[in-house]
Chains A and B, each alone.
Chain A
Amino acid sequence: MNVGKLPTIRADFRGTLGDFNLDASFEVPARGVTALFGPSGCGKSTVLRCLAGLQHLPGSFCAINGDVWQDRKIFREPYQRPIGYVFQEASLFLHLSVRRNLLYGAPRDGSGSESGSIPFDEVIDLLGLGTLLDRSSHHLSGGERQRVAIGRALLSQPKLLLMDEPLSALDRLTKDEILPFLERLHQRLSLPVIYVSHDMAEVERLADHLILMQAGSVLAAGPLGILQSDPSLPLAVGRDAAVNFDATAGSYDAAYGILTLQIDGGQLLVPAPPVAAGEGRRLRIAASDVSLAREAQQASSILNALPARIVSKTAVGPSEVLVVLALGPDGGGAKLLARLTRRSWDLLELAEGMAVIAQVKGVALAPARGQVAAVLAAPTRSG
């Protein structure tokens, strides 16, 4: 690892596969969850396979924490890379029991007990595998199989976890069963994850960083909130544009059932069940749920009116505009999106750089650990 430098994943994969041309280059921090997001067939799974060494594109480069896995001369075989890989289909070894599947990749020299490793009991607990251990791998539901596959990958003590659309082969209910496990994983283990998905709802719940891909190349890479609020990217101008925030729970008003959440540059009030102060929660504010006012409204049913500054305005279609806001009176906080009619923009005589009040009509709070669907406030989100 390079001393004094944050651990990063650097990759530059280029090559032709059939008539598909891949030219994907990015650098992301080797911590938290990085989503590789893009439409089907854009090459995101290929990038993941290249990272694992399952696909060898000569002339490519990849290094994790300064440790070179591939360059002109080096090519580390998949089994020589400290990765965990979760495939779209669970791909359990059908000739082995659940327990032996889980332990297949576990270090056999006892090095699994050293510090920094992921203990067996913790994985069993985290993924709720206790009752499955002695079952044959044939008689598991789709969700159970995928949980075992995730556990198996974790127990190989990887330094990087690669997940290739681990939920896409599952039905909606099973997805909702597994997502909380992935969120717990994220909270409890300090293991960098690259997560391939074409489902923005999954990305919004899990990702800290985002690599946006399109037709074999990388459009942008960076923190989730930054990319979500970049009007030059397709995410922000899309119909369901939204920004996610990692909020910290503050005081709780039990009389009204209202939770105060602290985000970068403001404070939000959200109807919610009690949450311990200091607990982290992810929330989502859709661009269509934010309206703007020139000054604070004295009489309004809107719970959340946050001072903000207008950063930019982008026309979306003939009659709407997308406004990027920076929270806080001085605009020093996180970015927020608002989608307005062009008429309102003109009538209020809004302009870039102006101080405004962002009225937030709905805040969606990600469910707590293990809780399946406690989606609050007006907008319902697709899981």
Chain B
Amino acid sequence: MGGLPADIWQPVRLTVELAAITTIILLIVGTPIAWWLARSKAWWKEAVAAVVALPLVLPPTVLGFYLLVVLGPDGPGGALAGLWGGRTLAFTFEGLVIGSVVYSMPFVVQPIRNSFAAIGDRPLEVAATLRASPRRAFWTVAIPLARPGFLAGAVLGFAHTVGEFGIVLMIGGNVPGKTKVLSVAIFDYVETSQWREANILAAGMAIFAFIVILAMTLLEKRIARISA
């Protein structure tokens, strides 16, 4: 790899870090939301579902603009940053994590919600008649049975966070080692006519995406076979 700039791997590391943290947060935050959306009989739950799904259709610039307002010095993000002496969450790694959680949310919540819904009432009723409290039924029946949804949600959430560009640019900017992730780095290399570097990262992304989709399809097949 002679002649490559030394910092070409920095965005890769940063991207993986961002995607991993985002995915973990999304699994923790998204699971109760998905559970509630799958089980609740509240009439307004579809409104909540629509809000969660908004990033699917909104232009990244719209989302990015509002995130900028929220994370900026005058928004709650600024107040939050003030806790550790910062002025704003915009253009920081923490801000990027918050933004990623918001825009990758539907990719995690939707598959988990579908999996929870597919379980149906029966296994939970069975668990209840076997003296399992709702909490125990959730952990020992609902979560294991919804495994395919968690797998799909985690993979999609991770992959989508890796691939996002517009919002990152809006709220993260291009701070090396802090907010300069892969997609931004590629854009950068193209801007400065470093086509070889751009090509290495772009090809790497393409291969990564291919492997993710293939692995997920194969895993889904395996799970379907086991539970057939």
Residues on A lying within 8 angstroms of B by beta carbon are 52-54, 77-79, 82-85, 87, 89, 91, 93-95, 104-105, 107, 138, 152-153, 156, 162
Nearest-Cβ distance from residue A123 to partner chain B, whole angstroms: 14
B137 CB, min distance to chain A CBs, angstroms: 8
B228 interface hit (Cβ, 8 Å):
yes
Determine the distance from Cα of A93 to Cα of B228 in the docked complex, in whole angstroms. Answer: 13
Contacts of A54 in B (CB 8 A): 125, 128-129
With a CB–CB cut-off of 8 A, which chain A residues contact B140?
A: 104
Query: In the complex, A91→B145 CA distance in Å?
Result: 13
- Least CB distance from A39 to B in Å reads 24
Residue from A77, A82, A87, A95 having most chain B Cβ neighbours under 10 A: A95
Name the contact of A79 in the complex, choosing from B123, B132, B226 (C-beta under 8 A). Answer: B132
B117-132 CB contact bits vs A (8 Å, 1 = yes)?
0000011011111111
Residue pair B144, A78 in contact (C-beta under 8 Å): no
Measured CA separation A77–B133 after assembly (Å): 9
B204 in the interface (beta carbon within 8 A) = no
- The answer on a CB contact under 8 Å between B122 and A156 is no
With a cutoff of 8 Å between Cβ atoms, the chain B residues found around residue A79 in the complex are: 127-134, 137
Q: Which residues on B sit within 8 Å (CB–CB) of A85?
A: 125-126, 129
Given contacts A138-B226, A138-B227, are A91 and B131 in contact (CB under 8 A)? no
Contact partners of A95 in chain B: CB under 8 A: 144-145, 147, 227
Sample of 28 A–B contacts (CB below 8 Å): A52-B129, A53-B128, A77-B128, A78-B125, A78-B128, A79-B128, A79-B129, A79-B130, A79-B132, A79-B133, A82-B131, A87-B125, A87-B126, A89-B122, A91-B123, A91-B126, A93-B127, A93-B141, A94-B145, A94-B227, A95-B145, A104-B127, A104-B132, A104-B140, A105-B132, A107-B131, A156-B131, A162-B129
Residue of B125, B133, B228 with most partner-chain A CB within 10 A: B125
Knowing that A54-B125, A87-B126, A156-B131 touch, tell me 10 more A-B residue pairs with CB under 8 angstroms.
A78-B129, A79-B131, A79-B134, A79-B137, A85-B125, A87-B122, A94-B145, A104-B130, A105-B129, A162-B129
Once the chains are docked, how many angstroms separate the CA of A104 from the CA of B132?
A: 9
Looking across the interface, which residue of chain B has its beta carbon closest to that of A95? Answer: B144
Contacts of B130 in A (CB 8 A): 79, 104-105, 152-153, 156
- CB-defined contacts of A104 to chain B, threshold 8 Å: 127, 130, 132, 140
B residues contacting A by CB (< 8 A) are 122-123, 125-134, 137, 140-141, 144-145, 147, 226-228
Measured CB to CB, the closest approach of chain A to B62, in angstroms, equals 41
Q: Cβ of B131: which chain A residues have Cβ within 8 Å of it? A: 79, 82, 105, 107, 156
- What residues of chain B lie closer than 8 Å to A105, measured between beta carbons? 129-132
Query: A17–B128 Cα gap in the complex (Å)?
Result: 22
A-chain residues with CB within 8 Å of residue B126 when the two chains form the complex: 85, 87, 91, 93
In the complex, chain A residues whose CB is within 8 Å of the CB of B127: 79, 93, 104
Q: Are A84 and B129 in contact (CB under 8 A)?
A: yes
Closest to A155 in B: B130
Say what secondary structure dominates the interface of chain A: loop
Point out the residues of chain A lying under 8 angstroms from B129, CB to CB.
52, 54, 78-79, 83-85, 105, 153, 156, 162
Which residues of A lie under 8 Å from residue B145 when comparing CB positions? 93-95
For the complex, give the distance between the alpha carbons of A171 and B104 in Å: 49
Identify the closest chain B residue to A82 (Cβ). Answer: B131
**Nearest chain B CB to A106 CB, angstrom units:** 9
CB distance from B219 to the nearest CB of A (A): 16
* Top 4 A-B pairs, shortest CB-CB distance: A105-B130, A85-B129, A78-B128, A95-B144
Q: Is the CB of B128 within 8 A of A138?
A: no
**Complex: how many Å from CA A105 to CA B126?**
10
In the bound complex, residues from chain B placing their C-beta under 8 Å from that of A153 are: 129-130
CA distance A54 to B130 in the complex (A): 12
CA distance A79 to B132 in the complex (A): 6
Least CB distance, A272 to chain B, in whole angstroms: 40
Within 8 Å CB of B132, what residues of A? 79, 104-105
User: How many whole Å from A323's CB to the nearest CB in chain B?
Assistant: 45
Contact B228 A138 (CB under 8 A): yes
CA distance A69 to B133 in the complex (A): 17
In Å, the complex CA distance between A52 and B126 comes to 11
Report the minimal beta-carbon distance from B132 to chain A, rounded to whole angstroms: 6
Q: Within the assembled complex, what's the spacing in Å between the Cα atoms of A79 and B125?
A: 9
Q: How far is the CA of A367 from the CA of B175 in the complex (A)?
A: 83
Bound-state Cα–Cα, A78 to B137, Å: 12
Task: Give, as a whole number of angstroms, the nearest-CB distance from B206 to chain A.
Answer: 36
CA distance A89 to B121 in the complex (A): 13
Distance between Cα atoms of A152 and B131 in the complex (Å): 12
* B residues near A89, Cβ cutoff 8 Å: 122
A94 neighbours in B (Cβ, 8 Å):
145, 227
Residues on the B chain within 8 Å of A52, using CB: 129
| From B126, B129, B132, residue with most partner A Cβ within 10 Å | B129
Bound-state Cα–Cα, A84 to B141, Å: 18
Min C-beta distance of A49 to chain B, whole Å? 9
Chain A residues near B147 (CB, 8 Å)?
Answer: 95
Please name the residue on chain A nearest to B133 by beta carbon: A79
Shortest beta-carbon distance from B146 to chain A in Å: 10
- B148 → chain A, closest Cβ, in Å? 11
The residue of chain B having its C-beta at the shortest distance from the C-beta of A106 within the complex is B130
Q: Which residues of B contact A91 (CB under 8 A)?
A: 122-123, 126
CA distance A79 to B123 in the complex (A): 13
